[in-house]
Amino acid sequence: MSNMLSKRLIEVSKFVKPQARLVDVGSDHAYLPISLIENKTIDFAIAGEVAAGPLHNSEQNISYHNLEDKIQARLGDGLDVIEKEDQIDTAVIAGMGGILITEILQRFVNRQEFTIESLILQPNIGESLVRSWLMEHNYEIVNENILAEDGHSYEIIVGKLVSTTPEYSREDLLVGPILKKNKNSAFIDKWNRKLKKYRKTLVGISNAQQPDQEKIQQVKADINILEGLLND
């Protein structure tokens, strides 16, 4: 069972608290909720899917594992698949871009019906956008992880709903307030790569016929942040 999940999804699953009532948005094959239930971490999950093919895969896998009484596969866009009565306290949104993740979250917040205490987000790109959204919507970043798998680096960001708006600096939003405290090898590799890219970008935009001064200042600020963190 444990090898059902990729290293990335194993790390995502570790952030799901025991007995959580989970919605897995864009569940695809429903491996994440199946694994959590088979490992007896949780007892109830909704596997949401916007596309019929992946929903069908989820239904087949749920049925193969005889878990129809514990996992409901539902067709729908983002968090539209859950209702207040489901008493969901944890949402996983993994394996999508940061823009799509924040759009899904924003549509849910706009419903103004109920809240979700814990958000476990794994954007494939656009991590700082996801952190900004969390900050602006009163989610404190309580946990993070970064890992490398198959030549990609993946970040996992866990938000917890709090009563006062947390404050994060540009550095926090860029690299992660928790990730920057324990710079593992995936973190160092990712940001060394990005630093090289930012330096190239800076040369490019500085040599433009009409240099965009605001953009130049932003890239310089990010280069300074990264140099500070990597030379620590």
Ligand X SMILES: C[S@@+](CC[C@H](N)C(=O)[O-])C[C@H]1O[C@@H](n2cnc3c(N)ncnc32)[C@H](O)[C@@H]1O
Shortest approach of ligand X to residue 143 CB, angstroms? Answer: 17
Contact region with ligand X (CB under 6 A), list: 36-44, 88-96, 141-149, 223-231: 88-96
Per-residue tokens: 112: 């103004």
SS3 for 46?
strand
Contact region with ligand X (CB under 6 A), list: 48-56, 144-152, 164-172, 181-189: 48-56
Q: Is 94 in the site for ligand X (CB under 6 A)?
A: yes
Return the residues of window 1-20 that contact ligand X according to CB under 6 A. 9
Q: Is 123 in the site for ligand X (CB under 6 A)?
A: no
For 166, list phi and psi in degrees, rounded to 5.
-70, 155
**From 11, 49, 59, 127, residue interacting with ligand X (rule: CB under 6 A):** 49
Q: Is 127 in the site for ligand X (CB under 6 A)?
A: no
Q: What is the 3-state secondary structure (H, E, C) of 138-159?
A: CEEEEEEEEEEECCEEEEEEEE
Distance CA(205)–CA(49), nearest Å, equals 41
Strands 118-123, 152-161: pairing is antiparallel
Question: Cα angle at 191 between 187 and 194, to 5 degrees?
Answer: 150
Distance CA(125)–CA(100), nearest Å, equals 10
Shortest approach of ligand X to residue 51 CB, angstroms? Answer: 4
Nearer to ligand X, 78 or 98 (CB): 78
Per-residue tokens: 194: 């990005």
Residues 17-36: x/- map of binding to ligand X (CB under 6 A)?
--------xxxx--------
Shortest approach of ligand X to residue 103 CB, angstroms? Answer: 8
Q: Is 125 in the site for ligand X (CB under 6 A)?
A: no
The H or E element containing residue 181 is none
Nearer to ligand X, 26 or 177 (CB): 26
CB atoms within 10 A of CB 171: 17
Q: Is 77 in the site for ligand X (CB under 6 A)?
A: yes
Q: Is 78 in the site for ligand X (CB under 6 A)?
A: yes
Return the residues of window 54-73 that contact ligand X according to CB under 6 A. 54
Strands 44-49, 71-75: pairing is parallel
Per-residue tokens: 121: 């987000």
Q: Is 48 in the site for ligand X (CB under 6 A)?
A: yes
Q: Which residues, listed in sequence order, are joined to residue 158 by a DSSP beta bridge?
A: 120, 143
Nearer to ligand X, 23 or 174 (CB): 23
- Total residues binding ligand X (CB under 6 A): 17
Residues that bind ligand X (CB under 6 A): 9, 25-28, 48-51, 54, 77-78, 94-96, 100, 104
